[in-house]
Amino acid sequence: MIGNRQDIPRYQSDFYRDNYHRLLRWLLRSMVIILLLIAAIIYKLIFVAPHQYYLTTTAGQIVKMEQKYR
């Protein structure tokens, strides 16, 4: 088997410690990804590109409408 009776608790604690560290690294990586996505959403909300509108004439021409700010 594994060996001494005293070695079994040490192996179990190593197992739980290693899995805890693995879970902690996964959580930290996911938090960084979430923060980057939040920053990208905020950037897109702040720096919105103005809408471009086009109209067509009865002859079929496409004319770009200029947006006037008041």
pLDDT digits (tens, 9 = 90+) for 19-40: 999 999 999 999 999 999 999 9
Number of H helices, E strands in the chain: 1, 2
3-class SS of residue 13? helix
Per-residue DSSP letter, 5: T
Residue 68 has pLDDT above 70, yes or no: no
How far is residue 39's CA from residue 35's CA, in Å, rounded to a whole number?
A: 6
Q: How far is CA 11 from CA 14, 22, 23, 28, 42, in A?
A: 5, 16, 18, 26, 47
Higher pLDDT, 53 or 23: 23
Domain boundaries, the chain: 7-65
- Read off the pLDDT band of 67 (50, 70, 90): low
Write down the pTM of the prediction: 0.60
Residue 14 has pLDDT above 90, yes or no: no
What type of residue sits at position 35?
Answer: L
On average, the pLDDT of the chain sits at 86
